[in-house]
């Protein structure tokens, strides 16, 4: 007697029963492919909390780090996502009507979720995107198969849900192509593209190249500082000192404050100044000052103080804003010459795992167990070198040490948080080029 297994045409996936031929199954596969991607590009439009439309074009790797552009009112800003924080560098017009717009002019600023409508670091990480798609669209009960249409000349199927509309490729391998609705926030309409390995390596390169500018920290739009009382000024022929008493609203953490001052007369700016960094304790206030010493101020003062000048000629106005400064991202300590990422852990089990995973490709054959010490030595020698950059592997933020072994490029990657070995291998030509560019740009 012959026993046969009969497939009923449906299967449980994480406890959900879906037909093999259902569009719901295609969506779940597409969501899984997105969640497991090493890199993704997201471009399209969304609304911020003020109802303004933003255009985004960003690329993030599996660790949730990346770079790109965010356009508001036709004005482009550079974006950098690292250590679960989003930084923006934009001209002052991009920030208007924020009172700190002049302070933020073309410098890096750590932005709050409300600044751009949603948290890029949290929501655009591939595994987070995959989970969002699966939760919103993966359990739909749809009769039949939606008709094939096109997005950017790509055959897709359109799926509707309460979160909006999703377009998934009509053919394998199933991919999420586009979404419109509230999946990512207010009125989003964005396209998704899983990046190829070479393009994903460029994401890590762009992050590494952007990090040196953050070594000394950046402004922090999350923290809203205020003044206790009115501004004060002390002016003479040589300059004008502007002082504000800055209050830290946080009851838990001190804040580093910077004051930007401006002195004007008859609607003409006579000078601007910026203070040094002042630490303000939690739930406390501190005086922060800067001094205007411009030729325009000195000329104004001399004219106003000259004999015969009316008393009203000495009228001037003082304005100021106070901004918080955030510390440098931890990833900056992993740059070449940085003081972090030094406690590396070469656990025997992790070394063996990388040997089993990457040894055959390196040796162009199945390596013998006796070659494991040689493998460890290559990792140790590479990790002892100075060429290192923040990178990513297996969805983890790492520090990658780049060197040469046996006349060929070799990489050893360690977890940035605990120093454990994550990967060791001979990189592809594209990744080796990206690593060299990152290292040389430090």
* Chain centroid offset of residue 81 CA: 1
Q: What's the pLDDT at 20?
A: 53
Give yes or no for a contact between 281 and 247, defined as CB atoms under 8 angstroms apart. Answer: no
Hey, what are 113's tokens?
A: 């979720």
Distance CA 411, CA 402 (A): 5
**Model pLDDT for residues 128-176, shown as the tens digit of each residue:** 999 999 999 987 777 678 899 999 999 999 999 998 999 999 999 999 9
State both tokens at 215: 């070594």
135 — phi, psi (to 5°)? -65, -40
- Specify the DSSP element, H or E, that contains 298: helix 295-305
Burial of residue 9 (number of CB atoms within 10 Å: 0-12, 13-18, 19+): exposed
What strands, in cross-sheet order, belong to the sheet with 408-415? Answer: 388-393, 396-405, 408-415, 421-425
CA–CA dist 213, 393 (Å, integer):
24
The token pair at 394 is 């297996």
Closest by Cα among 65, 59, 27 to 43: 59
In sequence order, the β-bridge partners of residue 142 are none
Residue 44: how many other CB atoms lie within 10 Å: 17
> Which two tokens mark 375?
């493998």
Mean pLDDT, the chain cut into blocks of 10 residues (442 residues total): 33 44 87 96 88 92 96 94 95 90 93 80 91 89 83 93 94 95 88 96 97 93 91 96 96 94 95 96 96 97 87 88 93 87 91 98 97 98 95 94 97 95 98 96 72
pLDDT in tens, 72-101: 989 999 999 999 999 999 999 999 888 889
């Amino acid at each position: 007697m012959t026993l046969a297994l009969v497939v009923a045409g449906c299967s449980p996936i994480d406890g959900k029963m879906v037909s093999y031929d259902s569009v719901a199954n295609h969506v779940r596969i597409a969501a899984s492919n997105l969640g497991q991607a090493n890199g993704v590009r997201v471009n399209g439009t969304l609304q911020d909390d003020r109802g303004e439309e933003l255009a985004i074009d960003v690329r993030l790797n599996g660790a949730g780090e990346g770079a790109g552009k965010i356009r508001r009112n036709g004005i482009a800003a550079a974006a950098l996502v690292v250590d679960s924080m989003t930084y923006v560098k934009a001209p002052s017009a991009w920030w208007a009507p924020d009172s700190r717009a002049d302070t933020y002019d073309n410098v890096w600023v750590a932005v709050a979720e409300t600044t751009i409508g949603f948290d890029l670091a949290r929501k655009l990480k591939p595994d987070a995107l995959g989970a969002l798609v699966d939760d919103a669209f993966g359990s739909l009960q749809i009769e039949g198969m939606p008709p094939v249409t096109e997005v950017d000349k790509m055959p897709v199927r359109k799926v509707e849900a309460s979160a909006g509309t999703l377009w998934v490729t009509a053919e394998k391998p199933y991919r999420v192509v586009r979404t419109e609705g509230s999946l990512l926030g207010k009125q989003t309409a964005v396209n998704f593209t899983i990046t190829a390995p070479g393009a994903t390596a460029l994401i890590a390169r762009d992050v590494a190249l952007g990090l040196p500018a953050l070594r000394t920290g950046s402004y922090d739009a999350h923290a809203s500082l205020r003044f206790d009382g009115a501004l004060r000024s002390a002016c003479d022929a040589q300059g004008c000192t502007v002082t504000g008493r800055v209050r830290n609203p946080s009851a838990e953490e001190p804040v580093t404050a910077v004051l930007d001052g401006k002195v004007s007369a008859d609607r003409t700016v006579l000078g601007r100044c910026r203070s040094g960094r002042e630490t303000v304790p939690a739930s406390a206030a501190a005086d922060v000052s800067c001094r205007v010493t411009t030729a325009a101020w000195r000329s104004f003062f001399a004219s106003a103080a000259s004999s015969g000048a009316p008393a009203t000629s000495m009228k001037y106005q003082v304005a100021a804003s106070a901004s918080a400064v955030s510390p440098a991202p931890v990833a900056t300590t992993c740059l070449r010459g940085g003081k972090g990422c030094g406690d590396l852990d070469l656990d025997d089990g992790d070394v063996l795992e990388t040997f089993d995973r990457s040894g055959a490709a390196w040796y162009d054959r199945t390596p013998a167990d006796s070659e494991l010490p040689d493998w460890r030595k290559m990792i140790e020698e590479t990790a002892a070198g100075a060429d290192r950059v923040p990178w990513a592997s297996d969805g983890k933020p790492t520090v990658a040490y780049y060197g040469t072994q046996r006349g060929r490029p070799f990489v050893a990657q360690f977890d940035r948080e605990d120093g454990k070995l994550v990967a060791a291998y001979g990189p592809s030509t594209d990744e080796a080029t990206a690593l060299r560019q990152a290292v040389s740009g430090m």
